[in-house]
Amino acid sequence: MSYSTVPEIALRSPKGEFVNEPFVNFAEAANARSMREALAHVATHLGREYDLIIGGHREKTTGKITSINPARPSQIVGVHQKAGAEHSQDAMDSALRAFHSWSRVPVEVRASLLLRAAEIIRERKFEFSAWLTYEVGKNWAEADADTAETIDFLEFYAREALRLAKSTTPIQLPGEYNRLLYIPLGVGAVIPPWNFPFAIMAGMTAASIVTGNTVILKPSSDSPTIAARFMEVLEEAGMPAGVVNFCPGSGATFGNAIVEHPKTRFIAFTGSKPVGLDIHERAAKTQPGQIWIKRTVLEMGGKDSILVCADADVDDAANGVVAAAFGFSGQKCSACSRAIIEAPIYDAFVEKVRERVEKLTVGDPVENHNMGPVVNEGAMRSILEYIAKGKEEGRLVSGGAAVETESGGYFIQPTVIADVDPDAVISQEEIFGPVLALIKVESYEEGLAVANNTEFGLTGAIYTADRARLDHAAAEFHVGNLYLNRKCTGAMVGAHPFGGFNMSGTDSKAGGPDYLLLFTQAKSVAEKLSNIDKAADSKGI
């Protein structure tokens, strides 16, 4: 890639201040019709084969990754090439060549690429949401939220990159011209999850490239098709070859090879705690020829609690708990997996939760049920094992079994287990499925101690009418994203910078004003002014 190819990206300026992309109201007939049409259109494109893209070149491999519809496992969404360790050097070489020129491209051009990509996705948002419905089982609202957040990340990071480029030193030393430059790091590995396969994948990729880095993108094997469609968007928007290299593959082979490569400068990862810690350990080991300390940007999940005090609006709290626990079948790192309830309202609250959960429908997300499938057969088995354990540790209130369907999809009933001990297995381990543990406490103080008793610290919420308790929780409820009198899911770009404490990760704060700093390094430049410079400056030249 030469700099001469870059002007193909038409310069765009952000349109006003950042505003979150509005969600689609599917209660409106026109929107529901558009979604059905998009689903029908995407259905005709299922099963296509996608190539590796390394340095702009398409490649096929002997090994394949087959992405299936978890609601209908016999339905193939996409067939992908499987990058192995043998592809890691080619991917790195391509990214390094691209970095040499992309890192020197003006930030206005890089931001324009993101803004154009946002335009393309906005124009086709129903189509992208339909792909999410087929590939990972999101119902219409969950898919739309994922697509909207993708647009938000692109728009927000474009603006943030422009803002960062205008950074200055706190003071100008007399007789000097002082500058503070945030320069790119180099080649990064982007390893996104399957549960937000559009927004998180695109967000980590966009943050990397808008700051001048180049990327080796290894999407989850459960959701590579969404990433392939995003690659098409970037290419349509004018991205030069090699800036993003699309390499689905096994984490144990290709993924580890990229993480350990001496030329890898950073790894952006979202996923499970065991994988995140393994990446962190591998990245920490210096390889022959490595001249830097690799940076890891890790988000690794949670065991999130909602504390419901006796003075809370019980109906509002029950609505929030059920929405946070069972949205996208509980497959969110921010999902409420534990509701901690003060004793005076415990029995009434359990009943209100039961009533709401039993109204939830489970089925094919194409038909827009409240809950679709879990992502794959392995996840289904693991969740059912936790449910079996939960039945031993507490009292089954609702659900507790798989849902049999003719399609053979991976469906599980929304499950509520009451009277759970704070130290029980289902109180401590991340289940990542539609399982809610209910815990009784005698006081707010005990409830807060329970909320803080896990190794995680991602999201949490409290419902109370007591101002003093809200203020106390803001200081002492130890999570990266705390919500007062609202559910603990649904972080919005710009308003709720997202990232957690402890074993939830490096508190990266995606969608916030600090995020792009993780993909840059600060360079201080001080120039002694000559007498000519001083004279010109005094004349305002």
Domains for the chain: give ranges and CATH numbers. 39-300+505-524 (3.40.605.10), 304-484 (3.40.309.10)
pLDDT at res. 2: 44
CA pair distance 292, 516, nearest whole angstrom: 19
Q: What is the SS3 assignment for 375-393? A: CCHHHHHHHHHHHHHHHHH
CA distance 473 to 463: 10
Residue 530: count other Cβ atoms within 10 Å of its Cβ. 10
The residues assigned a catalytic role are: 299, 333
* pLDDT < 70: residue spans in the chain: 1-7, 531-541
Token pair for 136: 């990972």
How does DSSP classify residue 45?
T
Place of tokens 């393994």: 278
Confidence (pLDDT) at 540 = 58
Beta carbons within 8 Å of 58's beta carbon, 6+ residues apart: 51, 52
Our CA angle for 492, 496, 501, nearest 5°, is 125
pTM of the complete model beyond 0.85: yes
Closest by CA to 432, choosing from 315, 331, 346, is: 331
**Which pLDDT does position 3 carry in this prediction?**
42
Phi, psi for residue 204 in degrees, rounded to 5 = -65, -40
pLDDT score at 520: 98
Q: Which residue has the tokens 């896990």?
A: 454
* The pLDDT of residue 7: 47
3-state SS of 398-427 is ECCCEECCCCCCCEECCEEEECCCCCCHHH
pLDDT for the residue 528: 96
Q: Considering only CA atoms, which of 47, 14, 204, 43 is closest in space to residue 116?
A: 14
The single-letter DSSP state of residue 253 is I
Residue 531 is predicted with a pLDDT of 67
- What pLDDT does 538 receive? 57
> Taking each helix axis from N to C terminus, what angle separates 125-136 and 140-164, rounded to the nearest 10 degrees?
120
Say what the pLDDT of residue 530 is.
Answer: 87
